[in-house]
Structure 1
Amino acid sequence: MTVSVLGVRHHGPGSARSLRDELQRLKPDIVLIEGPPEADELVGLAKDPDMLPPVALLAHVPGDPSRAAFWPFAVFSPEWQAIRHAVQAGVPVRFCDLPAAHSLALRPGAPETADGQGEHGGEAGDGGSPDGATGEHDGRDGHEEREPGAGPEAVRADPIGALARAAGYDDPERWWEDAVEHRGDTPFQVIAEAMAAVREGHVPGEYEARREAFMRRTVRKAIKDGYERIAVVCGAWHVPALAGAAREGAWGAGLPTVKADDALLRGLPKVKTEITWVPWTYGRLAAWSGYGAGVTSPGWYHHLFASPDRPVERWLTAAAGALRDEDLPVSSAHVIEAVRLAESLAVLRGRPLAGLAEVTEAVRAVLCEGDDLPVELVRRRMVVGERLGQVPDATPMVPLQRHLREEQRRVRLKPEALDREYDLDLRKPLDLERSRLLHRLRLLGVGWGTPLQSKSKGTFRESWSLAWRPEFDIDLIEASAWGTTVPAAATARVRDLASGTVARRGAPAPGGPGGAGVPGAPGEVTLADLTGLVERCLLADLPEALPHVLDALSERAALDSDVTHLMAALPAMVRAQRYGDVRGTSATGLAVIVDALLTRVCVGLGGAVTGLDDDAARDLLRHIDGVHAAVALLDDGPAAPGAPGGSPSGARPPPAGRGHPAAPAGPPGRGASGEPAAPAEEETPQRRWLATLRVVSLRADLHGLIEGRLTRILLDAADLDTAEVGRRMSLAMSAGHPPARAAAWIEGFLSGGGLLLVHDPRLLGLIDGWLTGLAPETFVDVLPLLRRTFGAFAAPERRAIGSRVRSLGTGTAEPARKTEDVDDERAAAAVRTVLTILGRAESADG
């Protein structure tokens, strides 16, 4: 009976090649690998042709997926090569590390993700991470490490750093690469002796001691089961704790006794766990991601493992190809000179092979001619080398994960590690289904897709950026509590969000339509949250969830007395009502809620505009602009079937007794002399809103910013003529008002754009006369406000205004052009076309 303890560096290509050759020489009848024993039943999946690394073992606690751990494997990981050798040779494989049931129980509430964000963050020590095959500390970071929860005796120095310093290296990473990775022929016995020297006098912490005790227990069980040639693959640091006197033929000599190990493992806390394979990425394997046992250059290590002959030449040739793909001029002569430079640098530095530092300097100096920007491209594409692994369909999954895989195939969206942009045309059934799937996943907190600003102005297009991350599998496991399919789970979660019984834990709310957030904590559901949820239900096509959200919205709106909350909620509701039909989703009940919200906004706006400081005025102005834009959508939209009076928005008029005092009975002067008033025009949302703004704009206590903006809105809506606007502007800029208020009035008035001043010389003259009449000290005070106002205009607008002002100063203002007679017959065709575009072709002959 022989026990061969093979110490490796996790994710080391040289270690992987050496281990593969050593296993072929030893021909073991069982292979023990550092990792969670719960995964023993899943090892057989490694021989499935659909299993493509990088992959990872994922262990989690059912009902609490935040307590989870990953054990990633790349093709150049020694553990993966050991698994592949065993399954191809038909010999059993067992994992020998501390079970995940114990390691997760020992760290309650500290998820062990690939990013190392658990309570032991940073590089996981031998006692630091349940990452098993990858969380192992092989001492290459050159810093001291303390095990979580361990005493001072658990502090130890970096073993690789100590060996590197003894060899005269100031960089432990470079020493390990020169001694092991770039050679591939370092005997495992040499590694064992080096680690034994470094560990001399080391007192393991409690967690490290328990891990090594369980490894020894697993070896003893394999011996008891009758295996004769046992190969143990573990982190190099653990070799002295497992080998003992094995080289002398008596395994166990010098090691702790069975009784001592049993005492260490007795009474360990335990939780129920489930384990499976999940895809992994090289980006998550990189050390810069925060993953403790990661490597800085997984793409480079993959290349070293896959290209044992002439790796430098092949790497620089691939780098030249990547640069050529970006239309950068790189010739074969560049590659030849780059190879010579890399090899020369390796010789000067005494390295057995040019490493990543040498080939990167050759790329920068020769291929990129000293430019760092293309070097960064090579680093991103090749040094890290984003690639996403794949697991077979036979892998254990929760029903929600399996349903998502089916949906991804149905809509032909393949998960990829690199960001990929999709421009979806919602008029196409396939793109519509893709959009619905992505919106449903975002409701579940799975941020696979990130909405982008669409290049199209139409509502039938969406742009997305898709990139799959390994942690999304944890999100899916957590979301499986809501249902077994994506639509069912999204519907259930929306219902609970609407009732305020669940906190939001997902991805950021999408931008654009449907971009409002969802509740951040139980019981904190705001009106804006609910209106955003309505939009997201429509975007995700969840008709069963929408009634629950609308009921919650009605109740919340009835209790909310803050008019700014109502104003913030209205635009999202109007967008949902207006654009829901683009997706073919039903928005029944929205019109009634929109009408009620608008009525309450009209009633409460008068009280909301009083006593405002500058910041409050700007905040309210933003809400006013939002409501104004939303009301324009209502008024211009197609009439809803069955809408009373043919209202374009489908909103019913207010019932009797619920009138809004802000709206006058009719136009000014009508019915004022006691004569019978003319029949009132049919009320629409826009007329109701403009009537409210008209009355509010006449208040004497308005902030200048609000008064100026309301005047501009009424002018643009043709509710005021230029003569009335000129009168109001003259009053605002009169000597009775402070200059700062006049400047605020101008800022609000011009916030809709500067073209008005280009085409209306009278208004421009009023502003010019007021500004030139200011005292010097007053001019200095109002100048920042005016610069902010005019600085927001486009450059052509500013140039045109300057030209007009120059004409005013010289008295050569251009006379108004005489309006020519219009040929009605020639104009009819153009009018008909415009009305058709606006959706009013039926009135083109009126």
Structure 2
Amino acid sequence: MTGDAEIRVFGIRHHGPGSARAIARALAEFEPDTVLIEGPADADPFLALAASDDMQPPVALLAYVRDEPARAAFWPFAAFSPEWQALRWAILHDADVRFCDLPAAISLAAEQSPESAERPDPLAALASAGGYDDFEQWWDAVIEHARPGDAEGAGAGAFDEITAAMEVLRADTDLDEHTARREAHMRQVLRTAVKAGARNIAVVCGAMHAPALTGPLGPAAPDARLLRGLPKVKAALTWVPWTHSRLSAASGYGAGITSPGWYDHLFTYPDDTTARWFTRVARVLREEDLPVSSAHVIEATRLADTLAVLRGRALPGLSEAVEATRAVLCDGDDVLLDLVARKLVVGEALGAVPEDTPTVPLDADLQARSKTLRLKRAPIAKKLDLDLRKDLDLQRSRLLHRLSLLGIEWALPAESAVRSTGTFRETWSLQWDPELSVAIVEASRWGTTVEAAASATVLDRARKPGTTLGEVTDLLEQALLADLRDAVPHLVTAIDAAAALDHDVLHLMSALPALIRTVRYGDVRGTDLTSLAHVADAVLARVCAGLPSAVTGLDSDAADAIRRAVDDVHTALALRDDPDAAGRWLDTLASVCDRDDVDGVLTGRTVRMLRDVGRFDEHATGVRVARALSVGSAPAAKARWIDGFVGGGGLLLVHDRGLLSLIDSWVSGLRAEDFVDVLPVLRRTFGSFAHGERTLLGRAVRGGSEHRATAALEPARGHRALTATALILGVPV
């Protein structure tokens, strides 16, 4: 009692169904006119939204710094959270309800946010004192499995006992300064409520705070001094959907629990809890096409009940349910048990907030676009195969690419299960993470719509000092995929300017493939890229002019980098199908291939490329291979040349036994010490071949192919095959 006001403090465990049921019963018995709940005091204006039928937990209060949205904190609530039940009770019974913890504006100004703080759970000490190694088992047995109408142990009396136990624990615990300030603020809110005329005040807070709020409040001056001058930030708050998986301790949430899905089940189904649970498990397994019958459910329920009796427990807990699931429903398969744990024990339920919940304009635009394109936010990863020839899928693709540019990773590229070699297919993996709400707030500084924000962020990256030609080219490629038409001309201009200022041939070569891909495939999305084609031609001209001088005096690492760039440019030019551009490129390669001052990995590669396109015939190629492996070259240089010539694929040697014989003779003639020196390079070269290529080469070197070629023929069997083929084709034999 404080004056004429009666104050009752209910110390709860965050997100405990037993606490939630006990709070509902205690409030119904006490009938308070004011309910104070642990939570940020500056979120009071948003409490009314909890009365909406569209507010479906799990949800969370999101607070972030207006000028620095990455600094954010969440206060999650599930249906089985005692705070949520207290909030709903107050709304339904017209009681005054407020949050009483430190405002988010102060919490966010602290070095450590309230949800990131790592602090021991004092209730674990009670579990140990009760003889339980596992705190969850103790809480299940003492609190969570208490049914309505049970003895007072799970009702209001349990709160008094917990508060008394917390007093003992606090006596041996050094409270940090942040906790002391939080409790001082709670007492100040209590004093304010009393002065405002409240008569019956219920305080719902974490059990560790309960002793600090129980009994006489004492003078206000010490608390006022403790709170005076605390730093603040400009904070914005709103409600956002949350998921059960983000309530789990494994997600890093400071007040997390191990089994939110199980706790939701306990709260939702207080009667026949075990049988209903195994029915849900059976449904999940049947969705995986596993043979689970009603008999399995009955036997699993019996086993769980028996285990509970053997362990002296009134009702089966999660441990009994897990063991019965493994033994009966999963046949001892831990992989299936893990599936049940992910889908049910932890769970992936996603909450919802009313449409009129305050949000940034960017989020409102994203929600509207998602609804139009039928993209639903879901906590479980879902594959989305898009056919860009369809307008709906094309619009979806553009939206997802725009979100990717903004750093909102709702969707990530994935491998498609549909076999296709065209450029009109995309596959994404969609999974909504509640913390993407922070990413949306961060991205909102770029614009009020997804398209405008994506365009602004692309142009900002392109204009930053130090942005390389390759980076700008990649931005253009992404902008085309996102259909940012207003940004494309500016990016083309930026590429032209960057190319003119960049004198590094490797940079130019690294940017050229993306340019050529854009020119080649950009028209699939209906964008005019004529000006970009001129830029690509100019970059190619500079590459052809600078490559001969850039390949001299290189160490092995630099030569390998140039080789990879040469491969990429060569492949890109083949896609472009421009004879003039290809001719200039091949002339440049021809000027490099016979030089002695160039690393062998480059001369070998250029000889191979010129041979593949028909510039060199078999004789010219054989002469160059023989010369590279001649006596005058060092073994290491020869190995580098071979690496460049055949590295990445061995089909050339499979079909050209003359070249294979030259290389085989060279390797066979190496001295022991030379062989040891070149072995790493040879192993890398031949190790990159496909398994089938290595097998064929091994047989050829051993003479296996010749043996098969000279093997006796069987004309009778061949005639039967020809006859069958003729009948199929309908031609006379």
TM above 0.5, yes or no, is: yes
Return the match for 1:708 from 601, 604, 609: 604
1:19 aligns with 2:23: yes
Describe the SS at the equivalent of 2:55: coil
Residue from 361, 365, 372 that aligns with 1:399: 361
Cα deviation, 1:249-301, whole Å, max 9, x if unaligned, reads xxxx2x33122222222222222221100111112111011110011111111
Q: Match of 1:166, as an amino acid?
A: A
Give SS of 2:322's match.
Answer: helix
Structure 2 letter corresponding to 1:633: L
- 5 Å-filtered alignment, 1:584-603, equals 584-603=526-545
* Candidates 339, 344, 347, aligned match of 2:306: 344
Distance in 2 (alpha carbons) for counterparts of 1:293 and 1:167:
22
**In the alignment, what sits opposite 1:517?**
none
Q: Give distance in 2, aligned partners of 1:810 and 1:495.
A: 62
After superposition, where does 1:371-520 map in structure 2 within 5 Å? 371-454=333-416, 455-500=419-464
Whole-Å separation in 1 of the counterparts to 2:710 and 2:647: 26
**Match status 1:568 vs 2:510:** yes
Structure whose residues are more often helix by fraction: 2
What aligned pairs does 1:280-291 form with structure 2 within 5 A after superposition?
Answer: 280-291=242-253
Q: Output the amino acid matched with 2:19.
A: S
8 Å CA contact retained: 2:648, 2:688: no
Greater displacement, 596-605 / 329-338? 329-338
Matching residue of 1:731 = 627
Counterpart CA distance in 2 for 1:588 and 1:191 is 75
Distance 1:379 1:202, change over 3 A: closer
What one-letter code is carried by the residue in structure 1 that aligns with 2:69?
P
Q: Deviations over 1:17-51 (max 9, x none)?
A: 11112222222222211111222121121122221
Deviation at 1:585, TM superposition (A): 2.5
- Aligned to 1:686, the other structure's residue is in SS state helix
Q: Distance in 2 between matches of 1:371 and 1:205?
A: 46
The alignment partner of 1:50 has SS state of: coil
How far off its partner does 1:806 sit? 4.2
1:206-261 CA distances to partner (integer Å, 9 max, x unpaired)?
Answer: 322221122122222222222222221111111111121xxxxxxxx2x3312222
SS class of match (2:426):
strand
- Quote the residue 2:725 is aligned against: none
Mapped contact 1:53–1:75 kept (Cα < 8 A): yes
Do structure 1's residue 798 and structure 2's residue 694 form an aligned pair? yes
Q: Show the counterpart of 2:655.
A: 759
Question: Does the Cα contact within 8 Å between 1:538 and 1:587 map onto a contact in 2?
Answer: no
Residue type matched to 1:460 in 2?
A: F
TM-aligned CA distance change 1:811 to 1:800, over 3 Å: closer
Correspondences of 1:237-252 after superposition (within 5 Å):
237-244=208-215
- Say whether residues 1:258 and 2:154 are aligned partners: no
Say which of 257, 260, 273 aligns to 1:311.
273
1:450 is paired with a residue whose SS is strand
SS at match of 2:386: strand
Q: Distance in 1 between matches of 2:78 and 2:413?
A: 31
> Any idea what the Cα deviations from partners look like across 1:385-425, whole Å, max 9, x if unmatched?
01221111110011111111101111110111111111111
Contact 1:277 1:391 in 2 (8 A): yes
**Whole-angstrom CA distance in 1 between matches of 2:592 and 2:20:** 77
Query: Residue 64 of structure 1 aligns to which amino acid in structure 2?
Result: E
> Which residue does the alignment assign to 1:177?
140
Is residue 92 from structure 1 mapped to residue 96 from structure 2 by the alignment? yes
Corresponding letter in the other structure for 1:458: G
Question: In structure 1, how many angstroms separate the alpha carbons of the residues matched to 2:476 and 2:390?
Answer: 23
**Hey, what does 1:53 align to over in structure 2?**
57
Tell me how far apart the structure 1 counterparts of residues 640 and 514 of structure 2 sit (CA, whole Å).
Answer: 29
Q: TM-score, normalised by structure 1?
A: 0.79
**Counterpart in the other structure of 1:198:** 169
- Answering whether residue 26 of structure 2 is matched by residue 41 of structure 1, we say no
Superposition RMSD on alpha carbons, in Å?
Answer: 2.2
Provide the C-alpha distance between the structure 1 equivalents of 2:649 and 2:181, rounded to a whole number of angstroms: 71
CA shift, 1:202, in A, is 5.3
- Closer, same or farther in 2 for the Cα pair 1:305/1:687, shift >3 Å? same
Is contact 1:33-1:96 (8 Å) kept? Answer: yes
Per-residue CA deviation, residues 92-149 of structure 1 (Å, 9 max, x unaligned), is 2111111112222233xx566x6x3xxx4x34xxxxxxxxxxxxxxx53xxxxxxxxx
Do 2:240 and 2:352's aligned partners in 1 also have CA atoms closer than 8 Å?
Answer: yes
The one-letter code sitting in structure 2 at the alignment partner of 1:443 is L
Partner of 1:555: 497
- Post-superposition shift, 1:749? 1.5
Question: Quick one: higher RCO (CA 8 Å, sep 6+), 1 or 2?
Answer: 2
Provide the C-alpha distance between the structure 2 equivalents of 1:787 and 1:493, rounded to a whole number of angstroms. 46
Distance 1:735 1:331 in 2: 77
* Counterpart selection for 2:617 from 696, 701, 721: 721
Q: Offset at 1:726?
A: 0.7
Contact 2:648–2:685, Cα closer than 8 Å, also in 1 = no
SS of 1:277's equivalent in the other structure is: strand
Please report how far the alpha carbon of residue 6 of structure 1 lies from its aligned counterpart in structure 2 after TM superposition: 1.3
AA matched with 2:487: A
Structure 1 match to 2:714: none
How far 1:688 sits from its partner (Å)?
0.6
Answer whether contact 2:108 2:233 (CA < 8 A) is retained: yes
SS at match of 1:463: strand
CA contact (8 A) 1:183 1:352 kept: no
Length, aligned pairs only: 697
Is the Cα contact below 8 Å between 2:387 and 2:393 reproduced in 1?
A: yes
Match of 1:608 in 2: 550
- Report the CA distance between 1:358 and its aligned residue: 1.9
2:85 matched residue in structure 1: 81
CA deviation map 1:288-333 (0-9, x unaligned):
1111001111111111111111222222222222222222333333
Aligned partners of 2:403, 2:71: CA distance in 1, in Å? 22
Aligned equivalent of 1:672: none
Q: Distance in 2 between matches of 1:350 and 1:563?
A: 77
1:805/1:6 CA distance change after superposition, 3 Å: same
Structure 2 counterpart SS, 1:589:
helix
Question: Could you say what secondary structure the match of 2:432 adopts?
Answer: coil
After superposition, the Cα gap between the structure-2 partners of 1:165 and 1:384, relative to the gap in structure 1 and judged at 3 Å, is closer
**Taking every aligned residue pair, what percent have the same amino acid on both sides?**
55
1:302 aligns to what?
A: 264
The residue type paired with residue 768 of structure 1 is: D
Aligned with 1:2 (options 1, 6, 21) = 6
For residues 605 and 17 of structure 1, do their structure 2 counterparts lie closer, same or farther at Cα, with a shift above 3 Å needed?
same
| Counterpart for residue 152 of structure 1 | none
* 1:587/1:25 CA distance change after superposition, 3 Å: farther
Partners of 1:371 and 1:704 lie apart in 2 by: 55
Match of 2:254 in 1: 292
Contact map agreement 2:377 2:432 (CA 8 A) in 1: yes
| Aligned partners of 2:265 and 2:277 also within 8 Å | yes
The residue number in structure 2 matching 1:691 is 587
Secondary structure at the aligned position of 2:178 is classed as: helix
Residue type of the partner of 1:714? L
* Structure 1 counterpart SS, 2:257: coil
Q: Which amino acid letter does the alignment assign opposite residue 178 of structure 2?
A: Y
TM-score, normalised relative to structure 2: 0.91
